[in-house]
Every structure is written in C-alpha cells, then in structure tokens.
Structure 1
Amino acid sequence: MNIISIKNVALGLAFSATVFGAKAQNVITEGQASYSIAVGGQTANATTYFKGDTSSLAFQRGPAQIKMVGTKGGEFFAVFLDVPVASMKKVAIGTPAEIDEAQANEPQYAFTKTEETKKIGDFNCKKYVAKDTRDGSTYDLWITTDVTIPANMITKFYSSLGGTPVLFTFLQNGNVKGAQVVTLTAVTATKVPANMFKVTADYEKMTLTDMQNMGKGRQ
C-alpha cells in the first residue's frame, strides 16, 4: 500500500470517527431538561433531572416549591413540598397501593406516524397522533431524534417511539380536564445534583393521600 492510500484510509477512519462521535454526543444519559407547561391559560416552567430510570420534575406554584421524583417503571414515586416562608418541608412517598391506583388511571396510547415535520425551537420534529384507547381522544405529538434522553415521568408514555418528545400533551392523573401542553425548550448534559432523588432527613414523611387531603383542607 503506498503513502497516498495509507493517507486516504487514515482520513476515512478519522472522518468516520468524527461522524460517530457527533452522533454519540446526541445521546444524553444524565442531565437536565427544561419544559414550558401550559394549562388553563397559564404557563409555568419546569425542570427535570434524569439519570438512568430515575428522574425528577420541579416547578414553582405560588410560594411552594414542588418536586416529583420517580422511576420509569413506577417502583418509586414521591412528591416533595418545600414552602420556605412557612418553614415547611414535607415529602409524600407513594405506597404500593397508591402507585398501583395512579398507574391504573394512566392513559394507554396507540400511535400513528404522519409525514408532517417542523422545527420547534432548536429541534427538528416529526408529527405523530396519539390516541388514548380508553376514551378515543387524540393528541398531536411531536418527536425529535436530534437528541435522545431517557424517558421521564411525563414522557414515559411515548418511549416506544424511539425519540424525544418535544411538544406533547400530559394528562394529570390521566384526567382529560387536567390536560397540560408541554414543550421541551432545552436539554443539557450535566451531573445530577447530590441528593436530587433522595428523601433527606429534613423532610417530614407522609403518604400521597395525606398530602392530597392537606391540600383539600387549604382550599
């Protein structure tokens, strides 16, 4: 093999490695994602951290900082409530019965792929139609393959599509009346902060039912 051929092979291998590396960079296994959530004419921002099968979703509601932590399969789910002005820190940890009940109310989707495409923010997306087989209601769903991240608590319903949901509808507790339109705005590869998924000793523990009843008492 002459020198020119060797150079060509070397350049070819280098180019292949560069392309492969670029593709690999689009797969993020640990990091942070930001969402804009619209419901009832109002918009809120939420942040999720993810690593493996575990994720968190945090947002602000009035003076309260709320964070949900759960595993993709539902083995663990907790809601953290932090109200600094009231010196209140509580965590509701789902019992097996509570988790089973919540999963029973989750939507069951059948998907239809369309030929429509559009760019949403920085993401090139393809459109799917998600049909809830429980009641026949349908929702538009936009998926990107520009970046791949693990499914989290609000995107796990779409994991079979092999991409990352960018614009989709999330049904709170499977309730159509609580439908939230969610838009992915940014994804960053970063380390999950320490204790992000843990129940630390400074939180008072209770069940999900207890926290729900506490909220009803304040209405």
Structure 2
Amino acid sequence: MFKSMKTGILAAILISTAIIAHAQKKITEGTITYKVEYAPTAEQEAAVAMLPTEQKVKFNGPMIRMEMEQGPATITVLQDVVSNLGLVLIDVPVAQMQFAVKQGKAEYDKQKASSPKFSDFKATGEKKMIGSYNTEKYTYKDDKGGTYELWATTDIELPTGFSGENFKDVKGSLIKYTHFQQGIKQTLTVKEIKEEKAGPFNLDVPKGYEVKTMEEIMAMQGGGGE
C-alpha cells in the first residue's frame, strides 16, 4: 500500500517545506493561500503532476503549519522559521500507518546546500497591484547563472524569519517570487493573507506516531513497505 505512492509523497513533503515565503500591517497569526506553479524538467514531470497547485500555510508567530492530501496519505508539515527545526507527519488511514519525521539542523543544512543560492537583489522602482497589495519589482540571480524577478509589498509584515534566509535582503513581504526546491522550479503567488486565529503549533511528536528518518520513508516508497 505505502510503496505504491512512489515518489509522490516524498516530492510533496520536500516541496511543501519550501513554501515558507515572506508575507505595514503587522500580522502575527493567520492563513496565507498561495497559487503554486511549477516548471519541471522532463524527468520531474511525473512527480510534479501529483503536487498541489494551491497551498494554505497557517502561522502563529514563528511556527507554521501546512497540510496536503497525497493519494491515500495526509501530509502535515510544521516548522519553526527562526530555528529551522521541523516535523513532518504522514497519516495513511487505509494502511493504519502514522509516521513522524523530525527535521533538525543537519537536515536543514543538507537541503540548503543542494539549493541554488540567490543574491544581488535590486529594487527596480517598477510598481503594480497584485491582488490587494501594492508591490515593487525586484530582480535577482542565483549562483548557477539564472536570473529572476519578484514582487514585494510593504503593506503588511509577517513574523520575523517568515521570508526565509534566501530572501532576507528584500525589503518587504514576497507576494510573487520564484525559487527552487529539490531541483524543481516553482513560482508562488499570494492569493490571500487572512488574519485569524491559528495554532498554537509545536514540534512535539503526537501520540501514536512512529518516528522515522527521511531515508527510511524513501526506502519504504522504493519498495520496502507493503
């Protein structure tokens, strides 16, 4: 049962952990809804076809929570955007499986090392409205020769660290931007930022979950599980 999901769940986990974008109204808790667009290579198309085109991110201070359905599994990702510690919960009710994967500093550093490094952020002065937000265009590049643009707003402010380290040099909150996660290019656009009660969230493993490493989950997907 579990192995039949192949790389879909793993791709969803890895992509979802990357949907931590920046969003001067100060908002300390709420929900952000993103439109997600992918630009996969030919080899990535099968995995990307299983990924969501919309993602909701709930946040309370530095803690964020995302949930998605992937076949028979529900995947929940929790992360502290300041410490970069995280927890992935995988529920497969039809197989009576519940797994928890802890994300420590080593896992964060490994993922960061494999991703392009962005730099040279420059405000262009070009302005436009995206949804209900006044935004300004920035250009930037990566260490592999790629060039990009993003749109940021100073209309609102999210908790410290919400933008992630890659975009710390941008003044404002990211409304539309492009980045890579596990080699897959994706563009995120904010559809809605809603101030509402969310959480509180924590990184404690819930009762009944079996703690696994990401390598063990990958091995199960490759044929080690039933």
Common topology (TM > 0.5): yes
Compute the displacement of 1:154 (Å): 6.8
CA 1:118–1:69 in 2, change beyond 3 Å: closer, same or farther?
same
Compute the displacement of 1:140 (Å): 1.5
The residue number in structure 2 matching 1:76 is 85
Per-residue CA distance 1:119-156 (angstroms, 9 max, x = gap): 22222211111211x21212211111222113667755
Distance in 2 between the 1:136 and 1:78 partners?
Answer: 33
Contact 1:50 1:152 in 2 (8 A): no
CA 1:120–1:84 in 2, change beyond 3 Å: closer, same or farther?
farther
CA 1:95–1:27 in 2, change beyond 3 Å: closer, same or farther?
closer
Distance in 2 between the 1:186 and 1:131 partners?
Answer: 27
Contact 2:65 2:201 in 1 (8 A): no
Contact 2:31 2:193 in 1 (8 A): yes
Tell me whether 1:47 sits opposite 2:56 in the alignment.
Answer: yes
Per-residue CA distance 1:161-213 (angstroms, 9 max, x = gap): 2311111113113x2xx111111111122222355654211322111222233
Tell me whether 1:120 sits opposite 2:130 in the alignment.
Answer: yes
Aligned match for 1:160, one of 163, 169, 173? 169
Tell me whether 1:35 sits opposite 2:44 in the alignment.
Answer: no
Tell me whether 1:182 sits opposite 2:183 in the alignment.
Answer: no
CA 1:195–1:113 in 2, change beyond 3 Å: closer, same or farther?
closer
3-state SS of the aligned residue for 1:67? Answer: strand
Structure 1 residue runs without a partner (length 5+) = 1-22
Tell me whether 1:107 sits opposite 2:116 in the alignment.
Answer: yes
Structure 2 residue runs without a partner (length 5+) = 1-23, 41-47
Compute the displacement of 1:91 (Å): 1.4
3-state SS of the aligned residue for 2:106? Answer: helix
The residue number in structure 1 matching 2:13 is none
Higher RCO, Cα 8 Å, sep 6+? 2
The residue number in structure 1 matching 2:102 is 93
Distance in 2 between the 1:200 and 1:172 partners?
Answer: 27
Contact 2:150 2:178 in 1 (8 A): yes
CA 1:114–1:195 in 2, change beyond 3 Å: closer, same or farther?
closer
3-state SS of the aligned residue for 1:217? Answer: helix
Q: Report the identity percentage.
A: 29
Structure with max Cα Rg: 1
The residue number in structure 2 matching 1:14 is none
Displaced runs of 4+ in structure 1, greater than 4 A? Answer: 40-43, 151-156, 194-197
3-state SS of the aligned residue for 1:160? Answer: coil
Distance in 2 between the 1:115 and 1:169 partners?
Answer: 19
The residue number in structure 2 matching 1:206 is 212
The residue number in structure 2 matching 1:131 is 141
Distance in 2 between the 1:180 and 1:151 partners?
Answer: 23
Distance in 1 between the 2:204 and 2:169 partners?
Answer: 28
Q: TM-score, with normalisation over the residues of structure 1?
A: 0.75
Per-residue CA distance 1:58-110 (angstroms, 9 max, x = gap): 22323322222222244412222123333322111124432321222233222
